[in-house]
Amino acid sequence: MSEMGFGQDYLSPVGIEAYLRRNQGHVLGVIGFGRPVDLPPTSCTPLWVDIPVLGGADTSLEVWVSDAAVSPCDHDGIHGSSDGTVLFGSVTLAQHAGETMQSLANQAYSRIFSFLDHHGFSHLLRVWHYFPQINDDEHGLERYRGFNVGRHEAFVAHGRSISEESVPAASALGSNSGSLTIYFMAARQPGKAVENPRQISAYHYPQLFGPRSPIFVRALSATLAGQHCFFISGTASIVGYETVHHGDAEKQAAETLLNIRTLLQQTPHYQPAQGRMLLKVYLRHEEYWEMVATKVRAEFGDQVKVVYLHSNICRSDLLLEIEGAYFNEVEVSDE
């Protein structure tokens, strides 16, 4: 059995071997950021994302574990694992000459939906996307906006509705190099979407932000393997659908944290003194790290686990983005 039940943790290379040994047979996924390091064998192949780690570390490892035994699950070029409650998987697609990010996103999501259907886990809960030159132009369209078009095409082609009932929590960030890299989590039952009353739902954005809107909910709540889970999508300094505080990283950080606070206030299971909160903070410019870290500590205290990464954000006018996950054990009644 996993030492902490279902959920995730952030680790440095120091101690990772002992951690994986203690959780042998219960590891759903390992995602590495920063400088690759050799890892001991696990039931899944580690996924590496070329995004530098800030704060003095060279490498950060995100590990997902379960309290139930984990089995490998592969299909249509996607490698994954399952504990019977959730399905965890990843896909990496190289961009060849003549291909666009739009076509790559379509291919990736077509494979993901095939993978989910094959294994009987039809409900996406959380998706993470990374690819290089996210803000660059590609045939007259920003690569991130092209990605949104391709994702939308795949949703439609596979009969997936784009609504609160069927859209996952998600994030999309720029990597320094590599391919389109996606990892994701799905379940047999849907989660519950949580939107931010301060913001327009992303899938209702106007065409000002591209031919097709992004497809994600602001947060998603689910009960998995005895844990109340609250997955917070990539969150930034956006009110309504517009970026606010252009060029001011300190004000953007405060606005971002207000948006996260607003989301957390909508889940009855969030108790600041209990449970586990984990955050990934993406900064466009590394000189903002100390200021943002001070604000995050002031908001969440020292108990939160945070990884700081140097990455381009999906909108060129955003200076930072924060995503997170909160886990709290389901209380078992004595009755």
Q: Where are the alpha helices (DSSP H) in 137-285?
A: 143-157, 249-264
Beta bridge partners of 89: 80, 184
Q: Residue 331 catalytic? A: no
Three-class SS state of 260: helix
Residue with tokens 């190289």: 94
Three-class SS state of 123: strand
Catalytic residue among 321, 323, 329, 335: 321
- Residues 33 and 309 sit within 8 Å (Cβ to Cβ): yes
d(CA 137, CA 151): 18
- Residues 328 and 270 sit within 8 Å (Cβ to Cβ): yes
Three-class SS state of 37: coil
Q: How many CA atoms does the CB half-sphere of 84 hold within 13 Å?
A: 6
Q: Where are the alpha helices (DSSP H) in the chain?
A: 16-22, 101-119, 143-157, 249-264, 289-300
Contacts of 175 (CB under 8 A, 6+ apart): 49, 50, 51, 130, 131, 132, 181, 311
By annotation, the residues acting in catalysis are 321
